[in-house]
Amino acid sequence: MQFDDKSRVEKAKKRAVVNQTEVRNRVELFRHLPQYEHGTQLPDLESKFFRNDPMHRAVYKVGLQYLAGDITGGNARCIAMLQAFSEAIRDYTTPAEKTLTRDLTAKIGSYVSFLIECRPLSISMGNAIRFLKNRIAKLPLTLSESEAKTSLCLDIDRFINEKIILADRVIVRHASTKIRDGDVLLTYGSSCVVEMLLSHALELGKKFHVVIVDSRPKLEGQSLLRRLVANGLNCTYTHLNAVSYIMHEVTRVFLGASSILSNGTVYSRVGTAAVAMVANAFSVPVLICCEAYKFHERVQLDSICFNELGDPQAVAKVSGRGDVNYLGSLGNKDNLQLLNLMYDATPSEYISMIVTDYGMIPPTSVPVIVREYCRDQLWI
């Protein structure tokens, strides 16, 4: 929805289950995106929850975890959503004078609307929802209700196992062939599949060094650093502003992705494009590890039309450092606009290779994956 359309926003507020506090000073260029403060207000959530069409407890719980930031990461968010849907389907009963396919599709739609209120969906979550709705629509009419529900739950389990868990293992096996003894590998932030890759390469006995590049406000790389150091890996930790100083030592860059678009653009956590561009300037290969279920037929040339905005106050304060508060009370000034972008778009020319569960491909081959594999094997 375009959030710069006042009439549509007001209508959406009346239907909303979650009552969120909007940012006071919006950045004009990003007014079309949902902008909420971290201090989300939920005073009447329970009354709306019970007054409206009952929300399943599993979906309700996952939505609140999205809202609080307890579940982060593309795969973790998608798995949590699908497992909640699976539990809701098991408890579902078709109302009298209604058909399962239509009523359950409407139910899933209401659950999705609630999750969107808690946090905008990722592209991979949208793909998973499309898959589930497609499976519901194609249920044979001869199946009983219990058989249909069992079939859908099995489809969800198969999607999680094949498209996420097993896909990550295949990606790790392919990408590990690109790691040699003496390599200096650089990664940015914290990607679960890249972490699996580094741990697997260490188990294979390969000798290499890891450079972890991090950035505020989330500092996701710190948790990755702790786990890798605990596993015995030699690591270097630095921030994004120093990436050009350390890149001359790096032999390969491994990055995760939130999604890969049809034109080869990599949509990932903000700062990924900067790392890829610096690596390209130093002639360092950039390899993207991304599951095929995250591919999308959309074409995007910038990070403006489609993005997600984080808590604007997060850029004004340093987490865990009360003594570092340079903005002070300036965050409440009417003429100061705080912008916390969550994602950026990396053009395909800065990417050397994309490692997927279908093999290693150049960015120019992304449309083949979207056309042949995604439509034939994922959506149907």
Question: How confident is the model over 30-71, as pLDDT tens digits?
Answer: 877 777 766 554 545 555 554 545 788 899 889 888 888 888
Per-residue pLDDT at 43: 45
- 8 A C-beta contact, residue 304 and residue 29: yes
Per residue in 242-298, pLDDT (tens digit) is 999 999 999 999 999 999 998 899 999 999 999 999 999 999 999 999 998 999 888
Domain boundaries, the chain: 6-166, 178-307+342-378
Q: pLDDT tier at 356 (50, 70, 90 boundaries)?
A: very high
Higher pLDDT among residues 328 and 150, named by residue: 150
Q: pLDDT tier at 120 (50, 70, 90 boundaries)?
A: confident
Give the fold, CATH level 3, of 178-307+342-378.
Rossmann fold (3.40.50)
Calculate the alpha carbon distances from 65 to 61, 126, 342 in Å.
6, 18, 18
Q: pLDDT tier at 213 (50, 70, 90 boundaries)?
A: very high
At residue 227, does pLDDT exceed 90? yes
Residues 6+ apart with CB under 8 A from 354: 260, 266, 287, 288, 290, 360, 361, 362, 363, 365, 366
Q: Nearest-CA neighbor of 22 among 316, 306, 312?
A: 312
Mean pLDDT for the stretch of residues 189-212? 92
pTM passes above 0.85: yes
Are both 6-166 and 178-307+342-378 of the same fold?
Answer: no
At residue 221, does pLDDT exceed 50? yes
Residues of the chain with pLDDT > 90, as a percent, come to: 45
Written as six digits, the tokens of 38 are 């971290």
Paired with 286 in beta bridges are 253
Per-residue pLDDT at 379: 44
Mean pLDDT of the chain: 84
Distance CA 56, CA 78 (A): 17
Angle of the 192-203 helix axis to the 221-230 helix axis, nearest 10: 20
Q: Angle 318-71-360 (CA atoms, 0-180°, nearest 5)?
A: 100
Per-residue pLDDT at 83: 94
Q: What b/e readout covers 68-94, taking b as 16+ CB neighbours within 10 angstroms?
A: eeebebbbebbbbbbebbbbbbeebee
Strand 343-346, strand 266-269: pairing = antiparallel
SS (H, E, C) 194-216: HHHHHHHHHHCCCCEEEEEEECC
At residue 373, does pLDDT exceed 60? yes
Length of the chain, please?
Answer: 380
Which superfamily does 6-166 belong to? translation initiation factor eif-2b, domain 1 (1.20.120.420)
Per residue in 159-188, pLDDT (tens digit) is 999 999 999 999 999 999 999 999 999 999
Residue with tokens 């910038």: 302
At residue 333, does pLDDT exceed 90? no
Written as six digits, the tokens of 342 are 């969550």
